[in-house]
Structure 1
Amino acid sequence: MITDPELDDAWETGRAGEQAEAAEELAPRGRAEGAAGARRPWLWALGGALVASAVWAGGLYAFGEKLAAPEISYRATENLCEDFRARALGQIAGDLHRYRPMNQENDHPAVRGAICVLQNAETVSTLTVRAQVDLHDKTDPGPEFDVPSLWLAAQVGAGATESVQGLGERAVVFVMPGDAVQLRVLDGGAVFTLETYGSGIAGDTPADTAAIQSALVEDARALMAALKKD
């Protein structure tokens, strides 16, 4: 924990006396000693109040830092493609682990991230799935969770955002023009992002967006259970 340099023993024992002496210096001269003696308890009370206020402020800063760094409820993954099975999406598009899953991890001190990309064909895939898990070790991702991705909007244009009930602390699904769908889940200091591109069905059959959204929710719930700390 980061401590305030002003809260060491020297500050607590010396600064109160200095405050009292400074206050007494400002008091009018020439009064009877009895009046000065009656004034001194108030001066010491002032010094004690200043110390107590500083200690309280330091504790508040420390408490704020504790709030800023959430307790992570999920473990880091060494291979997200092994933890993310995508079984529900596989029922729509076929075995997504058959064609060389692409896996990558980033062990950054602030955010530990992992990405897995799956597809249901070697060259021309009718469904591509991208899963990402970000564990936020330094700051709470909650305040920024609902901010839409500018990069995503620039890539695919405007879309419709809907909240998803019963999944993590908060969850939203973003349906983009065409066949792209993104699901984001906030829970326990972690953000889970699942994206699909393509209908998953060969030929000119329209994409069943509702079925893909349902599969995304089911596979996200399974991934969260797989990475949940005991």
Structure 2
Amino acid sequence: MISEPELVDDAGEPLRPGRPTAYATGGGFPYGSGADPVEGGAPAVLPGGRYRRRWLWAFGGALGASVLWAAGLTAYQTRGPDLGGYRAAPSLCAEAPLSALVTALGKRGATTSAESYEHPVLDRAYCAVTLGELPSTYEVNLRYELHKQADPGVEFEAVRKEAALPEEPAPEPVPGLGEKAYFSVGGGSYAALVVLDGQAEIALSVSGLHEYVDDTGDPPGESTHAPLDGLKEFMVEDVRELLERLRTAPAPDGSASPTR
């Protein structure tokens, strides 16, 4: 029976794991011996002829990759998500002409309330303005939120597509406006449009104002408010214009002006 030939070194000695053997061409360590030709010397030999240094090199490479990945993640978290050009709007009503609603409901009146809040995580702005004249006056409310860290998409989809009250119909999706948009009418007393575009969320609502007097005054004229469910297209046009303005630089007077 012919057995496999035994590998021997130049001196005729059998090769053993961990034993450095000179190359026939003049020294060095053969491939697989575990020796380090750069640093010199054989590495520590573990049972079974396994060597430690290569595993240390592999571990060091994996550790370096983890450090680089963590550094990249930290840089992303510090930088935050892409805001799509949107900015804070401390004078929200001044940046909203509401031209379409003015055409539908009447001339624009005073801004009745305005608030704004800026934070590294979230910017908020709110305002209300009146439209029309007695006996048909309306209040228009605007709300703007710019999420500079968290993704508002999950909460928007979970909340805004549901009716405010169980007896009201579900909001109607509005395609072609922002990333997601819904329009709703509540009991004929208000109409609302909510829009999500990336990290920005806009809400526009319209409700009729009713005048009340005491027993000593003359009663107001009969209300002639327009059907609010017919305001959808006007509201969509005004929100689309406002979204565009919020992606431009503000003018010194607080309104928006195109960037150059």
The normalised TM-score by structure 2 is 0.62
Does 2:74 correspond to 1:62?
A: yes
Give 1:64 shift: 6.4
Q: Which residue of 2 aligns with 1:143?
A: 154
**CA, structure 1 residues 176+66, in 2 after alignment: closer, same or farther (shift >3 Å)?**
farther
Q: Which of 130, 137, 144 is residue 119 of structure 1 equivalent to? A: 130
Note the alpha carbon deviations across 1:90-109, whole angstroms, 9 max, x for none. 1111112x234422211233
SS, match of residue 171 in structure 2: strand
**CA, structure 1 residues 226+120, in 2 after alignment: closer, same or farther (shift >3 Å)?**
same
Q: Which residue of 1 aligns with 2:223?
A: 203
Note the alpha carbon deviations across 1:63-120, whole angstroms, 9 max, x for none. 7636963435222223112111111111111112x23442221123321111120113
RMSD: 3.5
Structure 1 residue runs of 4 or more that deviate by more than 6 Å after TM superposition: 34-37
Correspondences of 1:156-171 after superposition (within 5 Å)? 158-171=168-181
Note the alpha carbon deviations across 1:158-210, whole angstroms, 9 max, x for none. 3321211111122222222223121111124211111111399x735661513
Give 1:125 shift: 5.7
Amino acid at match of 1:198: G
Higher relative helix content: 1
Task: Give structure 2 stretches of 5+ with no counterpart.
Answer: 1-43, 211-221, 249-258
SS, match of residue 126 in structure 1: strand
Correspondences of 1:85-124 after superposition (within 5 Å)? 85-96=97-108, 98-120=109-131
Structure scoring higher RCO (CA < 8 A, sep ≥ 6) equals 1
Q: Which of 33, 44, 56 is residue 44 of structure 1 equivalent to? A: 56
Identity %: 27
Q: Which residue of 1 aligns with 2:254?
A: none
**CA, structure 1 residues 128+205, in 2 after alignment: closer, same or farther (shift >3 Å)?**
closer
CA contact (8 A) 2:188 2:228 kept: no
Q: Which of 219, 223, 229 is residue 242 of structure 2 equivalent to? A: 223
Task: Give structure 1 stretches of 5+ with no counterpart.
Answer: 1-31
Q: Which residue of 1 aligns with 2:92?
A: 80
Counterpart-to-counterpart distance in 2, 1:66 and 1:143 = 22
CA contact (8 A) 2:174 2:180 kept: yes
Does 2:196 correspond to 1:190?
A: no
Note the alpha carbon deviations across 1:9-38, whole angstroms, 9 max, x for none. xxxxxxxxxxxxxxxxxxxxxxx9486875
The normalised TM-score by structure 1 is 0.69
Counterpart-to-counterpart distance in 1, 2:228 and 2:55 = 76
CA contact (8 A) 1:99 1:121 kept: no
Larger Rg, first or second structure (1 or 2) = 2
SS, match of residue 59 in structure 2: helix
Q: Which residue of 2 aligns with 1:15?
A: none
Count the aligned residue pairs.
Answer: 195
